[in-house]
């Protein structure tokens, strides 16, 4: 790969699962910005939000994304809110390529409704909260260089292949010998 591929999109869009499969398929490292933040803080994202608040978390997120984009070429899974930051969008655009894994509300809800690790969904009506996030965030995700529609019937591996197809179509990202 000539650039790091940053997967962006809503929680539940498949950034981690598809990212791991994509990294394995392309023979490059898989990086997870949320995982790196948790490692550095020695606590979960939910604990960081609870203890320090979202603004603190977002500042750390930008620092981690900048650091990860300096390292070797990789597949980078970003947190659902990462691409909302103008600074993060600029960093990713400058040093990598953004791929929005676009998923509809029903698919997202089916994937996140039983997870307790989503601090932003801790509300009286988490589905309505998720719907509001989708509506507010989609215009920013739409600024990604590449958009790949998530399909519920596709396996993780098939979605990874769909992303590879989109990267090939975009051009200038994959080195031909790494595609085989």
27 is in an annotated binding site: no
51 is in an annotated binding site: no
Q: Which string of DSSP letters, residue by residue, matches 110-149?
A: HHHTT-S--GGG-SSSHHHHHHHHHHHHHHHHTTSSEEEE
80 is in an annotated binding site: yes
14 is in an annotated binding site: yes
CA distance 119 to 47: 9
Contacts of residue 35, Cβ cutoff 8 Å, sequence gap at least 6:
none
73 is in an annotated binding site: no
For residue 5, give the 3-state DSSP assignment. Answer: strand
13 is in an annotated binding site: yes
160 is in an annotated binding site: no
User: Phi and psi at residue 78, in whole multiples of 5°?
Assistant: -105, 160
118 is in an annotated binding site: yes
96 is in an annotated binding site: no
Q: Which of 26, 35, 25, 17 is nearest to 82 (CA)?
A: 35
CA distance 137 to 102: 11
Cβ-contact 40, 68 below 8 angstroms: no
78 is in an annotated binding site: no
12 is in an annotated binding site: yes
Q: Give the residue ranges of the annotated binding site for substrate.
A: 34, 58, 80, 137
Q: Give the residue ranges of the annotated binding site.
A: 12-17, 34, 58, 80, 118, 137
Q: Give the residue ranges of the annotated binding site for Mg(2+).
A: 16
């Amino acid at each position: 790969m000539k650039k790091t591929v940053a997967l962006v999109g809503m929680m539940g869009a498949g950034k981690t699962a598809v990212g791991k499969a994509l990294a394995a398929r392309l023979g490059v490292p898989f990086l997870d910005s949320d995982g790196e933040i948790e490692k550095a803080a020695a606590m979960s994202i939910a604990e960081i939000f609870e203890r320090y608040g979202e603004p603190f978390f977002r500042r750390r997120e930008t620092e981690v994304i900048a650091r990860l984009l300096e390292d070797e070429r990789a597949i980078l899974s970003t947190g659902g809110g990462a691409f909302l930051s103008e600074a993060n969008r600029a960093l990713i655009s400058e040093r990598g390529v953004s791929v929005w894994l676009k998923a509809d509300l029903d698919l997202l809800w089916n994937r996140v409704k039983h997870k307790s690790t989503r601090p932003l969904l801790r509300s009286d009506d988490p589905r309505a909260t998720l719907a509001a996030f989708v509506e507010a965030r989609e215009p920013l995700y739409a600024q990604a260089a590449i958009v790949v529609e998530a399909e519920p019937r596709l396996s993780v591996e098939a979605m990874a292949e769909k992303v590879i197809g989109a990267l090939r179509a975009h051009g200038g990202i994959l080195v031909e010998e790494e595609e085989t």
